[in-house]
Amino acid sequence: MANVTLRYTKEHEWIRIEGNEAVVGITDYAQSQLGDVVFVEVPAAGKELTAGGEAAVVESVKAASEVYAPVSGTVVEGNTALPDKPETVNSDPTGAGWFFKVRLANPKELDGLMDQAAYDKFVAELGG
Amino acid sequence: MDHPSQEPLKSTPLESLHVARGAKMVGFAGYSMPVNYPLGVLKEHLHTRTAAGLFDVSHMGQAALTGKDVAQAIETLVPGDIAALAPGQIRYTMLTTPEGGIIDDLMISRPAEPGSEDKLCLVVNAGCKERDFAHIAAALADRAVLTRHDDAALIALQGPKAAEVLARLVPEAAAMAFMTTRTAMLAHAPVRLFRSGYTGEDGYEISVPGAEAVRITETLLNQPEVEPIGLGARDSLRLEAGLCLYGNDIDTTTTPIEAALAWTISKRRRGEGGFPGAAKIQQQLADGPQRKRVGIRPLSRAPARGHTEIQDGKGRRIGEITSGGFGPSVNGPVAMGYVETEFAKVGTPVTLIVRGQAQPAQVEALPFFPHRYFKSARN
């Protein structure tokens, strides 16, 4: 997959666009900041998401955090393997550690997200 | 005890060591402290349960209290039986308010060394130490002198290999019983050893001169069994061990009886009273408290954090989680909190409201992970 189809949020979600659907997860920076992930809750298929709204939950030993929907749309599939193997979020955050697939309601929302270069700069400025 | 965030963070004598070892530093009780090292909270926790973990707890307040009747004096502020402390023994107790609330929990020990007959050693929580020391000094102004040991560092070495490791450097440490203290030489520096801790494991807390702290800590970390452990694992370890965190599980609104700490109050002190809040505490001992601190085990995988609402089966609020998270050694979520006494029995089903959803849970005996404190051959 080419990087050009990847976009990022300031909350450290990544979104990989595949036609009118997209896969969402949290970035390597996010998993490294969270530490050992011990609990994951993914949305069920059919759930309606609003851009910026809560979509999933990820908890480390230290704390709970939300995964926000980068775009609005309908959940096509949650990664049902993830709750049983939450550590996958640490070991493969941009691969097997994906959270959910969403059918885009408004593809124009992607324009408001960062590309790889912008996200790399954003993280560098965080001191990460 | 929250610390005003606009004040610059203080550092312990070990800060440079933490940074050099790649620790993630956070503000805690006004100090810059390591929350975890590159190993990560989960592995740091498990390492402490299987080998030995080293914790910097220098932010805690250390002091000596001296006076001719020092034990009787401090007993006017705490319900613990300090007069009964034999030389070399440590007692866990708490400073109480006139209403029976808890100002702080602390360790009081009576040194065994000749010439220290009029002296007690105190270790209090970092976030409470200014208030505690001012309270003690003022209340006992005509009976005892409080001397702060702000220049001393405090290092905890915890875990099943802690005794073996320390015996290599201080042979006389091995024979110490749990909850005893003595002085010793460690890496050519004078130290005070306490066989105590906050993990449920055997181990030591070691008070060392601040100027020697880095060298002594490096000596301990050079032992193959020892890894540095941050505050993240310190919290999950103490939670599994069912130990209270001041400010979360106990505070001025909770009494020692509600907090299930009645075991810290001896028969003599229950009868005689003579500490702040004695009337309330004696009344609760006689009649039972209205609420009680209990272990709560969520039956789903979802951890329940502090302030999670606890309900009975009919949706009525019966209490609140005060500490909760994931227990790495239990391999599941664990929590503690207060419930109305009729729901405090082990096995009672309760409901937790996590992110607006009702999750099943049950009251469980503490600790979640069995304590493995050292008992000397003589006991």
Residue B124 has pLDDT above 50, yes or no: yes
Same domain, B175 and B316: no
Q: Is B315 helix (H, G, I), strand (E, B) or coil?
A: coil
Q: Using CB atoms within 10 A of its CB, is residue B4 exposed (0-12), middle (13-18) or buried (19+)?
A: exposed
Domain housing B304: 262-364
Alpha-carbon distance of B103 to B99, in angstroms, equals 11
The position carrying tokens 């550690």 is A97
Q: Which of B91, B116, B148 is the endpoint of a domain?
A: B148
- The lowest-confidence range among A3-12, A48-57, A106-115, B345-354 is A3-12
Domain holding B329: CATH number?
Answer: 2.40.30.110
Residue B1, pLDDT score: 45
Residues of B in contact with A61 (CB under 8 A): 41-42, 45, 232-233, 236, 325-326, 328
Same domain, B355 and B278: yes
Same domain, B312 and B167: no
Domain housing A22: 3-106
Domain holding B197: CATH number?
Answer: 3.30.1360.120
Residue A55 has pLDDT above 60, yes or no: yes
Residues of A in contact with B305 (CB under 8 A): 63-64
* A85-115 confidence digits (pLDDT tens): 999 999 999 999 999 999 999 999 999 999 9
**Could you give the number of structural domains in chain A?**
1
Specify if B371 maps to a domain.
Answer: no
**CA–CA min distance A88, chain B (Å):** 14
How far, in whole angstroms, is CA B4 from its chain's centroid? 23
Same domain, B44 and B186: yes
Q: Which of B148, B174, B189 is the endpoint of a domain?
A: B148
* B194-238 confidence digits (pLDDT tens): 999 999 999 999 999 999 999 999 999 999 999 999 999 999 999
Domain holding A19: CATH number?
Answer: 2.40.50.100
Specify if B307 maps to a domain.
Answer: yes
**Could you give the number of structural domains in chain B?**
3
Residues of B in contact with A64 (CB under 8 A): 303, 305
Same domain, B233 and B350: no
pLDDT band at B4 (very low <50, low <70, confident <90, very high): low
Specify if B326 maps to a domain.
Answer: yes
Same domain, B46 and B161: yes
Q: Which of A61, A80, A90 to mutate to test the interface with B (most CBs of B within 10 A)?
A: A61
Same domain, B353 and B266: yes
pLDDT band at B2 (very low <50, low <70, confident <90, very high): very low
Residue A62, pLDDT score: 83
Q: How many helices (H) and strands (E) are present in chain A, helices listed first?
A: 3, 9
Phi, psi (5° rounding) for residue B174? -60, -40
Specify if B110 maps to a domain.
Answer: yes
Same domain, B86 and B158: no
Residue B184, pLDDT score: 98
Chain A contact residues (CB < 8 Å to B): 35-36, 38-39, 41, 57, 59-64, 83
> Do residue A61 and residue B325 have CB atoms under 8 angstroms apart?
yes
